[in-house]
Each structure stands twice: as structure tokens, then as C-alpha cells.
Structure 1
């Protein structure tokens, strides 16, 4: 492809193979994802977060443990 850096071309090619798309289709999907992202309302985002949280095992994931894990490796 013309004027595409080799490393970008290889990543696009690999992604196209994984998704079983042509290279051209993969490029279009990538551009659409970046330039026209799906917008969801704050209430939809909050509901999704609640669903994810409800699916967690409370004995495994406590808020204080999550806070500690988030700080690990940070100054």
C-alpha cells in the first residue's frame, strides 16, 4: 500500500487476518472506530458499570483491595 509505514501495514494486515477481512475493509473499520465512535449516554454507561460490578464475586473483589491494586506500581 502506498505511503503506509511498514509497521502500520503489518499491524493492519495481522488485524485483517484475525477479523477475516480484506485489508481495505480493516482500514475502513479502524477509521470508523476512531472517527465515528458510538456514543452512549451517561445513564447507559452507568448501567453497564453496575452490571459489570454485579457480576463480580464480592468476596474476591472488595473496594479496598481494588484501590490497593490500582495504586501498585504508581509513585
Structure 2
């Protein structure tokens, strides 16, 4: 059975954003809030260590830098 909740002190700009989004999605404000709450609690947590590790691997792959002359030459010749 659904539970009721009351939220007090919602800033005007936040309420207005919810109202506009609800209108765009053809939902009531209540339904829009529920949809957004579900998204917030069901979202996948970010594993920052994994992201940093991936970034390090990409940097290793792309090690080295191109000179301005090399970049200009690549532009003039076209890229494969």
C-alpha cells in the first residue's frame, strides 16, 4: 500500500521546475515527484576508482603529443 509524505519548504524555483516538467510529461505534480524520487533511489552508484582507472589507461594509450606541424599535416592530408 502506498505511503503518503508531506514535503515542506520547497523553494519556489524548484516547485516551478517540477510543475513545468510535469506539464511537459503530461503528469500531475505528485506523479512527477514520484517518478523523480524513483530515479534518484534506483540510480546506479558511481565507482569513481573505476572511472579514474579507465582514464589512466586511456592516457597511457594516447601517450605522447603531436606537434602543431603534425596536426596541420594530418588536417591537410585528411584523416583515415
Of structures 1 and 2, the larger Rg is shown by: 2
TM-score (norm 2): 0.44
TM-score (norm 1): 0.46
